[in-house]
Chain A
Amino acid sequence: MVLVLVLALGDLHIPHRAPDLPAKFKSMLVPGKIQHIICTGNLCIKDVHDYLKIVCPDMHIIRGEYDEETRYPEIKTLTIGQFKIGVCHGHQIIPWGDLDSLAMLRRQLDVDILVTGHTHQFTAYKHEGGVVINPGSATGAYSSIAYDVNPSFVLMDIDGLRVVVYVYELIDGEVKVDKIDFKKTTAVTHSAY
């Protein structure tokens, strides 16, 4: 059974805007379950990188504007299962968090799923046969456009032509889970290749 779990998170801003990941999140992120980690950047220090590496060694980290590590790429595409995934922090795309701009980037990169961050607000759109996801801030750090931020991250369960996006959000100390189902049509695949 080929089942791949992909963790997507970003904008932790440790230690500048938040001390650490919420304890409830940390207890959920146990090693051995997750196959890939996609990180949209702004970790910002190496300790976070090391922590994530314990959860899953297969990491794809993009550089945010506050990252100390300069070797992270600005943009990255990868293929997991039958899905092509593009990752970008998002501060380059203006207006920030604008769906049309993000859809444009998704078409540019020719990916099925585009993961971006920077706004610290969880959003997920099914748009033009693809998905645009923003996992929000995993620590609930404030951003330049939002102050009251709930910590959140995203877990993608990729199974064949289907992806189930689980959204974990910490609201008032309780973890809320939501789920978005997305099925890729083969027509998209054909045009993609």
Chain B
Amino acid sequence: MSLAQSEPTLPESSSVVTSPSTSVSEISVGENRRFADLRGVQWRIDLGILPSSSTSSIDDLRRVTADFRRRYAALRRHLLVDPPVPKGERNSPDLVMDNPLSQNPDSMWGRFFRNAELERMVDRDLSRLYPEHGSYFQTPGCQGMLRRILLLWCLRHPEYGYRQGMHELLAPLLYVLHVDVERLSQVRMLYEDHFTDKFDGFSFHESDLTYNFDLKKFSDSMEDEIDSHNSSVKVSSLDELDPKIKAIVLLSDAYGAEGELGVVLSEKFMEHDAYSMFDALMNGASGAIAMAEFFSPAALGGSHTGLPPVIEASSALYSLLSIVDSSLHTHLVELGVEPQYFALRWLRVLFGREFALEDLLIIWDEIFASDNSYLNRSADNDIGTSFGVLSSPRGAFISSIAVSMILYLRSSVLATENATSCLQRLLNFPPDINLKKLIGKAKSLQSLALDANNSSPLPTHTGAYNQSKSMAVRGHSLSSDSTSPRTPLSLVPESYWEEKWRVLHKAEELKQGSLEKQVSNSKKGWSERIRFTLSRSESAPSPSKVNSRKKDPKSVRRSLLEDLSQQLGSEEDTEIIVCNEDLGQNHPSSVEVEVDVQDGDGRNFTCTVEERHLSGNAGSEENFSIFSDPPSPSSGVNDEENESESGSVVSNLSIDENDVEPNTVESCRTNPEVSPLLVSDFPDDISSKCGQNDDSLGKTATGLKERKLLSGKFQWFWKFGRNGGEGTSEKGASEATKASNGGSNQNNTESSSTADGLNSTVISKGDAVDQNVMIALRNLGQSMLENVQVIESVFQQDCGQVGSLESFSKNVLVGRGQVTAMAALKELRKISNLLSEM
């Protein structure tokens, strides 16, 4: 080992070493993180190989280490005999059985060929392992170690065998051991040179020249070095040293307990240690999470669902997601994205494919730091809803990380219109992420997951996460409301099918009616059109109509709610009930609010600068006074509406893409299921938009209107998607807003920050000084600009689609509608520019 060789690896390893030590100490306040800077040792403790109690002495660690190494050595002697085929005199006389062409799988040759096959398989994977870190992983020594470990493990556990991905679980384990050894040699160098001086950490580079000399000495006589190293330690008082360094010294002492076999940080025994770590990880060390089960294709005895463990874990992940963010969950379900499509890869290699190695190590730090023992819950505690993977803190944390990863991608996932693109985004996790935030969120989700799994109906301490996790807050507040017995809503199941049929029938009727009214409408077959026409014909005239119409959808809603409640879990059920109930109680006001909001916004889009300024201000201030007037649940309801709106819009879009006629019925059916409130809400939204469009562009064709509606929907959709993403990622911002608001408004802002950042800013504007107004308007303008861009891109997509539907449409009119729509968009952009200038 020369300096030139060792130096390139040093920066890498040191960065790897230092970064976790900072982040770990910040993120986790682990009480038993004795060796936070020695990840390999810490992991061994976390994985249950080394004793975890902080009272165990170094000698204990050494003894246990030596035991594991002996076990591995014995196993290797037993299983990996080289050459595997004994020949000559030792050969068994039964040649019929033991010959190269023997059909008997238990014969020597059978075993030999099996091992050879296994080795080929392992080698195929290992040769492609971490090409970006090939300088370490692709070296023959490392590959040999990895191969032997994998072979031995697979031979030891023939029930699992080798599956692709196991090598990626093993590689980081070996890597941390390697990093630890590197760190040891680093410390040894430092220590050797500066021992007589007072030890300080930064004099490493001052004496490069001496290192050249010393290095030779080190490599030549490792034993002597340890010896002198050790004796010199003894001379001075060990306590003068940094305790970390002291630990390293003690762990690498060749003359402690068990002699050299007990050297915890040993390059010679990296293979042994890595095997024991891998074995503990795969078998779970009698804990809940055994990674090997994730590779097992069949259900194991412990699972009650009869599904393979990894599938079960994936669905646990979705159930957690549905608690945390039901709209996102709904969207994913709508697209038909099964959780195992992406979770299989995430879980099997513990996110090894999603993160760079350095980040992965930090995540694994956290995963391993979580306890893997089963929580002591009674076995009969509602076994139906609990998932095996969530029964230990570690499993809960793993799923929490997965969920927080999905939430991290929330906006872009919500923006997808089909399963393929959705999966593309989920499986191409962005490399530059805020890891700390991700882990922080996962930690907050972890206890939520554990609670959910214990199936206590009411998470009692979610309040603790109010600050960090506003989504959880919403779920919590709603569910806590739901426990109050004031829900006398009789859910009439007998009238449900009737109601449902009526909705469908009405949609059909309206479709017929709109056929003559709008000849230019090119895509009447589409479900979306039906809903548009339905809403327009119903709500176009005036708010009074809205009121008259109100009754009907309410009951429809209720019946649909019944449907929904049958499908979803009890918690969501009650959640919706609350929404529905509140809507029922505050219905006139909430509808008004809705209309007003839309009105104000719509005017913003279309009026001139002056007008817009006035009316926008007036409208919005009115709105938000109303908005904050009703008790907090109603704002929550609005929130919920928005959420569901966005979700259903997405579903509509996806159906739109499919553009199949039979979808009409189907989507009519699915839409209400997704958002029972949608039926009543959209009319307001759409009618106001419609009116605005008519005002500003009186001469536009009906096709334009359709376009406009579509674009409006897109706008809302995007706004929600984006703001939702911001709401989660810009928690700080929403916190600030919260602080600026009075205590009375707190609930309001909390809930709105998740769903609609726009609302929160505007609300704060309503309360605060003029400067806030200006800022809010500027934000509004910027968001409008972005929205416009989005609309344009969507339009281009749509154009292509229209072309494919010629048989059903009148191309000319549609084309004209598009042109005018584009013109309108330009207007919109101008306005937004002006707005942002203000």
Contact = CB atoms under 8 A, between A and B. Distances in A.
Interface in A1-34: 1, 3, 5, 27-30, 32-33
B113 A166 contact: no
A166 B103 contact: no
Contact of A28 (B87, B101, B113): B101
A155 interface: yes
Given A1-B82, A177-B96, A164 B101 contact: no
Contact of B101 (A159, A162, A168, A179): A168
B103 A27 contact: yes
A157 B100 contact: yes
A179 B100 contact: no
A176 B99 contact: no
A178 interface: yes
A162 B96 CA distance: 21
A138 to B, nearest CB: 13
Interface in B74-122: 82-85, 87-88, 91, 95-96, 99-101, 103, 113, 117
A1 B84 contact: yes
A192 interface: no
B88 A166 contact: no
B87 A164 contact: yes
A166 B95 contact: yes
B88 A181 contact: yes
Contact of B95 (A27, A33, A159, A179): A179
A166 B100 contact: yes
A175 interface: yes
Majority-rule SS of A interface residues:
strand
Contacts of B88: 181
B122 to A, nearest CB: 14
Given A27-B103, A168-B101, A181-B88, A175 B96 contact: yes
Interface residues of B, number: 15
Interface in A41-86: none
Contacts of B117: 32
Contacts of B91: 179
A28 B96 CA distance: 12
B103 to A, nearest CB: 7
Contacts of A159: 83, 87
Contacts of A166: 95, 99-101
B100 A33 contact: yes
A178 B98 CA distance: 11
Interface in A118-139: none
Contacts of B100: 5, 33, 155, 157, 166
Interface in A138-193: 155, 157, 159, 162, 164, 166, 168, 175-179, 181
Nearest to B102: A28
A177 B99 contact: yes
B95 to A, nearest CB: 4
Contacts of B95: 166, 177-179
Nearest to A27: B103
Contacts of B84: 1
B558 to A, nearest CB: 66
Nearest to B109: A33
A7 to B, nearest CB: 9
Contacts of B113: 32-33
Contact of B99 (A29, A30, A155): A155
Interface of A: 1, 3, 5, 27-30, 32-33, 155, 157, 159, 162, 164, 166, 168, 175-179, 181
Given A1-B83, A3-B83, A162-B87, 18 more contacts: A1-B82, A1-B84, A5-B100, A27-B103, A29-B101, A32-B113, A32-B117, A33-B101, A155-B99, A159-B83, A159-B87, A164-B87, A166-B95, A168-B101, A177-B95, A177-B96, A178-B95, A179-B99
Closest 8 CB pairs of A and B: A177-B95, A28-B101, A177-B99, A166-B99, A177-B96, A5-B100, A1-B83, A155-B100
